[in-house]
Structure 1
Amino acid sequence: MGEEPRRGRPAIAGKYGAVLAQNRAEGLSVKPRVERRLQCGNMLWNAVMDYLTCLINEI
């Protein structure tokens, strides 16, 4: 089976070996830029709390 194609520039561009930069780019490509976990105080937390408050007020 073939190797998965790499993202970004080739590992060697001219005389610059970009192995470290390539590894960093691959790691960052899968990391979400926006915090998606429900943590007290973040935007998602506030949206959930507002929604739940509306539900409770309707009862």
Structure 2
Amino acid sequence: MYPLSKFGIFKDTKFHGKPIQYPAYMMTSDNFSSRKYANTSHRRLKNVCVIMEWIPDVA
């Protein structure tokens, strides 16, 4: 597992964006996307599942 803020896909020299700064506790697994391929080739992401928890502000 590694921080989701470190997640990235192939970045060529012409078109690349800045990584999203997620909170430090949000993680992703190497089973989903290995970092060793992040900067070496184009990768296709399929079947992405996102689980988030919402805690409403008590006002």
Instruction: Please give the TM-score of this superposition, normalised by the length of structure 1.
Output: 0.25
Point out which structure has higher relative CO (alpha carbons under 8 A, 6+ apart). 2
Instruction: Please give the TM-score of this superposition, normalised by the length of structure 2.
Output: 0.25
More helix by share: 1
